A = this chain, B = another copy of it.
Amino acid sequence: MAKPANPLRLDSMLCFAVYAASHAFTRFYKPRLDALGLTYPQYLAFLVLWEQDGLTVKALGDKLFLDSGTITPLIKRLEARALVRRQRDVEDERLVRIFLTDEGRALREQALAIPLQVGEALGGDVEAGAVMRQGLKQLRERLDAALE
């Protein structure tokens, strides 16, 4: 009498809820980031670089969970627009360090408005957001730990 309870139902999948929410964030950010001339991954890179200048490609990738195949071309596009500068480390010539230019640093002022708009869109429940963020972090850690 009970219904078959499809174990492959899209709407029951946590993975899809995460996937769809991630795209929704990208869509939400799009018009805001267009004003800064940045894509969402580029914005993430700036979040890191505004906190700490002179990181290597590797270090930036570790923070964003991206590899050099993604970081290198992304940073090169920012360099072409003079928002960052790339420089080989003289101590260890394998390393390329990424520095903000004055223009890149100046972008931060305009970016400050964005988190406020996110908070507004989400109804301003900071506590619920923090709980969800923590849950997602644990989720990520468990998935990465189970990669064999």
The listed residue (B7, B24, B133, B140) touching A24 by CB distance below 8 A is B140
Q: Is the CB of B65 within 8 A of A24?
A: yes
Chain B residues within an 8 Å CB radius of A146? 28, 117, 120-121
CB of A139 within 8 A of CB of B132, answer yes
Is there contact, CB below 8 Å, between B108 and A8? yes
Tell me the A18-52 residues at the B interface (CB within 8 Å): 18-25, 27-29, 31, 40, 44, 47-48, 50-51
From B21, B29, B117, A140 is in contact (CB under 8 Å) with B21
From B10, B64, B108, B142, A48 is in contact (CB under 8 Å) with B10
* Contact across chains for B123 and A9 when beta carbons are under 8 A apart: no
5 example contacts (A-B, Cβ-Cβ < 8 A) are as follows: A19-B25, A20-B65, A21-B22, A23-B65, A24-B144
